[in-house]
């Protein structure tokens, strides 16, 4: 939840939608509870263990497709205030009276229910098998995510709790839309400060006024618009001090009015300003009396035909100094009344502001680690243990699990080649980097379609033979496998293609094309006992790992492009001397059809190259060039023109 009062709607105008490469080679802290709660509700009773399914697929995609380095954070022991607010929220939705809730006692906290804790523990075990770092917060997970971002350990946070900004986060990714060219909905603190004119302490003050995860109610009668207008009246270093004064019952109205009139355009009246409004003419609306203006027109009016003032139009407002001062005085009184109303509401709130909440937001002690700076390490997946874990919990076939983990394995392989190039290094000990088939773009994400060739059959444990297990997969349904459309929730699905069809690049490779969307799926190709694997990889990563292969691919691509252009030119010249043939059968046309085809072609070329206009057409006819027959001629006349 975070800050109440539709706080995200206030920030929506300043959102940035970033593209696929936004998280490339960046570290991102993820609130694991956010993923579990988000998809547990959506997929409950529809798939088996949705928390494990979502965590597995999203982690693979963040690591391989988006090129990010995820750091997962789980909640610690909630504060007593958070525990009470959680109970209050549950009872409020249940329609139970919450006025008789017991007060919060120091050191008393309530853990989340056992079912949710079980989901968290299972997800943590899965992430550790995938080689992802997992940190435990002392209290709130979003607080530790924000602290990691504030101290520079990570580049962004993924959470839906808006109070991550209050904890000090610099970039919050609220949601992800993987099927678009700009999948990340990002909120940068610098953009919010520029757009709203507010700082971090201003946001803390707004959360105290409208409510937050630790105090759901906030101040009674104050919404997000009122809170925003009120906090803008004070600079950042004074806003919390003013709230303390109001909470203690001190309402320094004169000081507020004199110095902080906010965004209301009110001019402070001087002592010499007139206290009463001047008399105005009821006919023209300008200063003076009607009787005086009937004799001599006032200086503000255009003289009418009878020599008097002009009648004022409907909705007329006099702009004299007296009227302007009167209007500003009225606005000032209205603003003073609004200020007094807000101050009285704040002063009537008990225990406001809560010092414990302020300390939680401003503290940067949300996690415990002995190393400084913190060490974040990403290991390789423990494949065999992972297969056993998911086979037990999800009832997935081992070959299905190995297929889905392939994008992560190939990404690890390419990164290892960048950091420590080793000749004859094999992907999963079986596949060697063979070539780059082509470049493609999916949802605005450029990538290479890389071909891996199986070097030699594995010797040893049969379970390590990923090629054999992948080849054994058929098109029938695998128990526990459910089709998911969201590209972020499920990674690219490998396919098995066994064929004898030859291809100019690799024997047996068939391009899979969908009319609606070309799937970016890894493929296993088996041809004459040799296996090939096709995966989509990031261009920059492939360039850094295999620069020679990329250079060769670009040279071949340029050579093919030149040959294609030269063949087009040759065919264009050759076709000028070819006898027209039927496009469908290639049979020689009859003399009648031949003349019709050549004459229509000549007319078409003449229309393309000759300038338009009746004068040019007349000149062309005078030089002996025939014009196309008009439909007004008889059939015999058209025949004579055609075969003459």
Closest C-alpha among 212, 111, 227 to residue 164: 212
The helix (run of H) or strand (run of E) holding residue 448 is strand 445-454
Average pLDDT over residues 498-502: 34
**What are the two backbone dihedrals, phi and then psi, of residue 269, each rounded to the nearest 5 degrees?**
-80, 140
Lowest mean pLDDT among 41-55, 59-73, 471-485: 471-485
Angle at 160 between CA 156 and CA 162, to 5 degrees: 85
Q: Does 28 score more than 80 pLDDT? A: yes
pLDDT recorded at residue 171: 96
pLDDT-based confidence at residue 382 (cuts at 50, 70, 90): very high
Q: What is the pLDDT of residue 494?
A: 44
**Do residues 637 and 630 lie in contact, with contact meaning Cβ atoms separated by under 8 Å?**
no
Asked if the model's pLDDT at residue 536 lies above 80, the reply is yes
pLDDT for 110 equals: 54
Q: What is the pLDDT of residue 590?
A: 60
Note whether 171 and 185 are within 8 A (CB): no
Distance CA 165, CA 379 (A): 30
Mean pLDDT of the chain: 76
Which residue has better confidence, 250 or 576? 250
pLDDT at 528: 75
Beta bridge mates, 29: 71, 157
Residue 552 or residue 521, greater confidence: 552
Closest to 166 in 3D by CA, of 100, 113, 122, 210: 210
The SS3 of residue 531 is strand
How much is the pTM? 0.73
What's the rounded mean pLDDT across residues 525-543?
87
CA distance 184 to 24: 12
Tokens of 635: 């059939």
CA proximity to 212, closest of 98, 357, 94, 108? 357
Of the ranges 11-15, 111-115, 157-161, 597-601, which one carries the lowest mean pLDDT score?
597-601
Long-range Cβ pairs for the range 468-473 (8 Å, 24+): 469/398, 469/399, 469/402, 470/399, 470/402, 470/403, 470/494, 470/496, 470/524, 471/496, 471/498, 471/524, 471/526, 471/531, 472/399, 473/397, 473/399, 473/400, 473/403
What's the whole-number mean pLDDT along residues 621-634? 54
Residue 573 confidence (pLDDT): 57
Rounded to an integer, the average pLDDT of 198-225 is 92
Distance CA 136, CA 128 (A): 13
User: E strands within 494-538?
Assistant: 495-498, 523-527, 530-538
Compute the distance between CA of residue 320 and CA of residue 300 in angstroms, rounded to an integer. Answer: 10
Question: How far apart are alpha carbons 603 and 479 in whole angstroms?
Answer: 66
Provide the pLDDT for residue 264. 44
User: In the chain, how long is the greatest CA-to-CA distance?
Assistant: 117
pLDDT, average across residues 185-205: 94
Determine the pLDDT at residue 373.
Answer: 63
Residue with tokens 């990164």: 415
Q: Given a cut of 70, is residue 281 above it in pLDDT?
A: yes
Q: Reply yes or no on whether the pLDDT at 602 is more than 70.
A: no
The pLDDT > 90 percentage for the chain reads 34
Q: Which residue has the tokens 């596949």?
A: 431
The helix/strand/coil state of 73 is: strand
Average pLDDT score over residue span 520-547: 84
Average pLDDT over every residue of 238-245: 92
Nearest to 406 by CA among 63, 134, 129: 63
| Of 463 and 206, the one with more pLDDT | 206
| Range in 156-165, 176-185, 386-395, 498-507 the model is least confident about | 498-507
pLDDT (0 to 100) of residue 237: 92
| Per-residue confidence (pLDDT) for residue 475, from 0 to 100 | 38
Average pLDDT estimate for 429-448: 86
Better-predicted residue by pLDDT, 96 or 49: 49
Q: Is the pLDDT of residue 271 over 80?
A: no
SS3 525: strand
> Bigger pLDDT: 544 or 273?
544
Question: b/e string for 146-167 if b means 16 or more Cβ within 10 A?
Answer: bbbbbeebbbbbbbbbbbbbbb
Is the Cβ–Cβ distance between 281 and 309 less than 8 Å? Answer: yes
Sheet with 134-136, edge to edge strand ranges: 16-18, 184-188, 171-176, 156-158, 27-31, 69-74, 134-136
CB-CB contact of 266 with 328 (8 Å): yes
Q: What is the rounded CA–CA span in Å between residue 21 and residue 157?
A: 16
pLDDT tier for residue 178 given thresholds of 50, 70 and 90:
low
Residues above pLDDT 70, as percent of the chain: 68
**What value, to the nearest 5°, has the Cα angle with vertex 140 and ends 120 and 374?**
90
29-33, 225-229, 362-366, range with the lowest pLDDT: 362-366
Question: Of 268-282, 419-433, 583-597, which range is least confident?
Answer: 583-597
Nearest-5° angle of CA 26, CA 28, CA 31?
170
Binning pLDDT at 50, 70 and 90, where does residue 40 land? low
Per the CB < 8 A criterion, the answer to whether 484 and 512 are in contact is no
The pair of structure tokens assigned to 338 is: 């609004």
Q: What is the end-to-end Cα distance of the chain in Å, rounded?
A: 87
Decide if pLDDT at 508 tops 50.
no
Instruction: Please state whether 206 falls in left (phi above 0), alpha (psi between -120 and 50) or beta.
Output: alpha
Please state which of the ranges 151-160, 308-317, 562-571, 615-624 shows the lowest mean pLDDT: 615-624
* Alpha helices (runs of H) in 426-485, residue ranges in sequence order: 466-471
Strand order in the sheet with 530-538: 431-442, 445-454, 530-538, 523-527, 495-498
What pairing do the DSSP bridges indicate for beta strands 171-176 and 184-188? Answer: antiparallel
Which of 118-127, 145-154, 284-293, 585-594 has the least mean pLDDT? Answer: 585-594
Tell me the C-alpha distance between 614 and 385, whole Å: 84
Q: How far, in Å, CA of 586 to CA of 580, rounded? A: 9
Q: Which domains does the chain have, with CATH numbers?
A: 1-99+112-194+366-396 (3.40.50.1010), 199-257+336-361 (no CATH), 398-457+518-567 (no CATH)
Residue 219 phi/psi, 5-degree rounding, is -95, 125
Instruction: Reply yes or no on whether the pLDDT at 584 is more than 70.
Output: no
Residue 369: Cβ within 10 Å count: 10
Question: What are the residues whose beta carbons fall under 8 Å from the beta carbon of 208, sequence distance 6 or more?
Answer: 215, 218, 219, 243, 352, 353, 354, 357, 358
Instruction: Show Cβ contacts of residue 253 under 8 Å, excluding neighbours closer than 6 positions.
Output: 336, 339, 340, 343
For the residues 557-583, what does the mean pLDDT come to? 68
**Where is pLDDT greater, at 328 or 501?**
328
């Amino acid at each position: 939840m975070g800050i109440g009062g539709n706080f995200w709607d206030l920030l929506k105008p300043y959102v940035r939608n970033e593209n696929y490469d936004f998280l490339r080679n960046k570290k991102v802290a993820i609130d694991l509870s956010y993923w579990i709660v988000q998809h547990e509700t959506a997929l409950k009773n529809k798939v088996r263990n949705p928390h494990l399914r979502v965590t597995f697929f999203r982690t693979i995609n963040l690591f391989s497709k988006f090129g990010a380095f995820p750091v997962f954070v789980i909640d610690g022991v909630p504060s007593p205030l958070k525990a009470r607010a959680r109970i209050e929220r549950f009872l409020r939705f249940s329609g139970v009276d919450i006025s008789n809730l017991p007060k919060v006692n120091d050191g008393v906290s309530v853990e989340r229910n056992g079912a949710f804790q079980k989901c968290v523990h299972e997800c943590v075990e899965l992430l550790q098998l995938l080689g992802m770092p997992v940190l435990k917060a002392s209290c709130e997970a979003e607080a530790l995510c924000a602290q990691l971002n504030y101290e520079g350990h990570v580049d962004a946070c993924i959470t839906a709790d808006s109070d991550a900004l209050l904890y000090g986060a610099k970039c919050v990714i609220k949601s992800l839309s993987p099927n678009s060219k700009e999948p990340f909905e990002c909120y940068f603190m610098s953009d919010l400060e520029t757009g709203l004119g507010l700082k971090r302490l201003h946001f803390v003050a707004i959360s105290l006024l409208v409510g937050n995860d630790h105090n759901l109610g906030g101040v009674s009668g104050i919404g997000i618009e009122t809170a925003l207008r009120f906090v803008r009246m004070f600079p950042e270093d004074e806003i919390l001090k003013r709230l303390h004064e109001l909470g203690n019952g001190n309402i320094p109205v004169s000081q507020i009015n004199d110095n902080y009139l906010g965004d209301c355009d009110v001019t402070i009246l001087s002592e010499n300003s007139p206290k009463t409004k001047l008399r105005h003419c009821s006919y023209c609306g300008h200063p003076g009396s009607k009787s005086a203006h009937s004799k001599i027109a006032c200086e503000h009016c255009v003289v009418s035909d009878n020599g008097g003032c002009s009648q004022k139009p409907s909705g007329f407002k006099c702009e004299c100094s007296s009227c302007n001062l009167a209007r500003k005085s009225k606005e000032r009184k209205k603003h003073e009344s609004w200020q007094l109303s807000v101050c009285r509401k704040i002063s009537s709130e008990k225990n406001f502001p809560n010092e414990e909440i302020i300390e939680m937001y401003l503290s940067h002690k949300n996690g415990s680690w002995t190393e400084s700076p913190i060490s974040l390490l990403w290991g390789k997946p423990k494949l065999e243990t992972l297969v056993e874990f998911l086979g037990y919990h999800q009832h997935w076939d081992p070959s299905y699990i190995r297929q889905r983990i392939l994008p992560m394995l190939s990404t690890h392989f390419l990164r290892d080649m960048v950091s420590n190039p080793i000749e004859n290094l094999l992907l999963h000990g079986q596949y060697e980097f063979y070539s780059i088939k082509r470049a493609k773009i999916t949802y605005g994400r450029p990538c290479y379609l890389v071909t891996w060739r199986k070097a030699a059959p594995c010797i040893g444990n049969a379970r390590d033979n990923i090629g054999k297990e992948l080849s054994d997969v058929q098109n029938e349904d695998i128990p526990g496998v459910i089709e998911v459309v969201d590209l972020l929730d499920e990674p690219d699905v490998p396919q098995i293609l066994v064929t004898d069809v030859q291809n100019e690049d690799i024997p047996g490779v068939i391009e899979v094309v969908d009319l609606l969307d070309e799937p970016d799926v890894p493929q296993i190709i088996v041809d004459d006992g040799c296996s090939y694997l096709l995966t989509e990889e990031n261009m920059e990563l492939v360039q850094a790992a295999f620069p020679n292969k990329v250079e060769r691919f670009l040279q071949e691509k340029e050579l093919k492009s030149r040959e294609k252009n030269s063949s087009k030119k040759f065919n264009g010249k050759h076709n000028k001397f070819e006898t027209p043939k039927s496009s469908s059968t290639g049979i020689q046309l009859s003399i009648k059809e031949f003349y019709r085809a050549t004459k229509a072609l000549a007319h078409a070329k003449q229309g393309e190259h000759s300038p338009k206009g009746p004068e040019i057409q007349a000149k062309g006819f005078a030089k002996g060039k025939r014009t196309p027959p008009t439909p007004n001629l008889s059939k015999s006349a058209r025949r004579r023109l055609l075969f003459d």
